[in-house]
Structure 1
Amino acid sequence: MMKHPQLKLDNQICHRLYMASNGITRSYREALDRLNLTYPQYVVMMALWEKDEITIAELVEKTAIDGSAMTQILKKMSDKQLLNIIKDKHDGRKRVIKLLTQGKDMQTDAACIPEQIRCQFPSLNTDEAQQLTALLDKVIQDLN
């Protein structure tokens, strides 16, 4: 018998979040392979499709991707000719990310991905999905 039931794996919220995160990332793999993107690169692209020509610092804040990881991600995306990393006109110490034509055009190919992923959750109705989003936002806010 378990000495400390609070350590039972089935009682851990964090383990459920870990399993869900891994499962969701796996579900993106096929769609993102077609675009030749990793999930973190896809997150960067979504942020840039919302607002192009932003600083690396703004991109880190928007995506919550670690700064050193972001540098590596952006380098690989630059090598794929999806974006340029340029000096800020007003502050040469800052770098601005600007989508190239190929990166902009990729948005059309990616437009179906959110619905494809949403279909991976047939047991969640729209209200439940919105509730889950709100609850996860609370968890994220508490952790930051």
Structure 2
Amino acid sequence: MIPTHIPFQARFRHQQEGAADTFSFKPVAAWDVDGDALVVDESKGCLRLASGYSNFAGVFPADDVFVGVIPGGGWEVLYDVEGEPVVEPLVAWRVRQDGVLVATDTDKDGFTFAPSSLGNFVRLVAPGEPRPISLDETE
């Protein structure tokens, strides 16, 4: 086992019929002798291969260290769902250690993600801004 000195995260895809894919993340705790990412399996109390999960979707550098969370404050997220606009409330803003705010949404299972990471993300809708009734209004 090789300890990780540069933070990485393993990403896991959650697919739901009729909804956009979402992702959850686990920090990479170490690397095995073959260079494969190991994550903590909380239920078994041990390390296991991230690639051993059926929904494993790769690893990436974990350069976003979050130091706080604030409510979404009336912001909304506009998605393109099969050509139709779908507006959902923004759950929160995560605050990175460098002060940058990251918009945060969640799926029905409580997994959080940045809406802009999804392929059907269109844009954020500011508080008080009229909700788009068609995707043509977003340009």
Question: TM-score, normalised on structure 1?
Answer: 0.23
Give the number of the structure whose residues are more often helix, by fraction: 1
Q: Give the greater-gyration-radius structure (CA).
A: 1
Give the number of the structure whose residues are more often strand, by fraction: 2
Question: TM-score, normalised on structure 2?
Answer: 0.23
